[in-house]
A = this chain, B = another copy of it.
């Protein structure tokens, strides 16, 4: 069933059907009624591929994430999808498995498929941004892009790092281990910088040996602590993600440490598991929903109005105090 058949059924031309479909003003009321009825009867649904080819817009956008099973990315994906759905856009999901090569391949495939825009939450492969030469609107979430013409939504990571360190210090910690991603991506650097500056403000000497850079994987955290815990002297941990924080806590508990008595821990992200872990995890909460939502809104605005300037949005973070640090 295509537009021509519907036109026949309604006794009008395809153009008129198209007009009705697209809400053009220039259709007589009685004609519109006829057409709508024909559509109803026939159960006709316009072919969006044909429409996309003609309009060079496909009412769909691409989302590039490193790992959809990571709750942080999944939450962002969901809120993006919410916004898109409200606006009748569809979402191509691209899961890059943290692989830069794959990321490139994906971006290319997306461009072939005529996506109207791309949201990019991916993994610090800034070189890949060369691929979109201003062809279509792009929004980067979380990890910065220094590319012209790309909108950017992120959390106040520096403030978060500062806040985490401050809280640990106020809870009595003096030797704070920072467990961070080895990748030098912007959010990570910012969290680290906040931690460093906070120590300085509180006159606590910065010890490079207390900063450990590892892959953001449970195994890496575990392996590191098993190997090093006895040689390290620390009374607090600032883990740059909750996943790392929980892996650290888990390992330390196994080793016989008490939390928060021997070691206090602060994470980052406020994933669901943080609340349900035992002991529940003090953490710096990001507004994950808002990250996605805002990103999607910025993208849609720029799709509808290409003149619109790219924007940068920084969302606040918040300390959520739970049982892995001492009350003060």
Q: Spell out A's residues near B (CB within 8 Å).
A: 45-50, 52-53, 58, 60, 63, 67-69, 71, 74-75, 77-78, 81-82, 85, 88, 90-95, 97, 102, 108-114, 218, 246-247, 250, 253, 272-273, 276-278
Contact = CB atoms under 8 A, between A and B. Distances in A.
The 3 closest A-B pairs by CB, nearest first: A93-B93, A278-B278, A69-B74
Given A77-B93, A109-B90, A218 B276 contact: yes
A93 B81 contact: yes
A100 B85 CA distance: 15
Contact of A247 (B108, B110, B246, B276): B276
A256 to B, nearest CB: 13
Contacts of A46: 112
A49 B47 contact: no
Given A67-B78, A69-B74, A77-B68, A45 B111 contact: yes
- The A contact surface, by secondary structure, is helix
Contact of A78 (B47, B58, B82, B95): B95
B253 A48 contact: no
B93 A60 contact: no
Contacts of A91: 92-94
Contacts of A78: 67-69, 95
18 contacts: A45-B112, A46-B112, A47-B53, A48-B113, A53-B53, A60-B92, A68-B81, A69-B75, A69-B78, A71-B71, A74-B74, A77-B95, A81-B95, A90-B94, A92-B93, A218-B272, A276-B277, A277-B277
Nearest to A105: B85
A68 B58 contact: no
B278 A250 contact: yes
Given A48-B112, A60-B113, A90-B109, 17 more contacts: A45-B112, A47-B112, A60-B92, A68-B74, A68-B77, A68-B81, A69-B71, A69-B74, A71-B74, A77-B93, A81-B93, A81-B94, A82-B95, A82-B97, A88-B109, A92-B93, A218-B272
Contacts of A111: 45
A58 B109 CA distance: 12
Given A45-B112, A92-B60, A112-B45, A68 B68 contact: yes
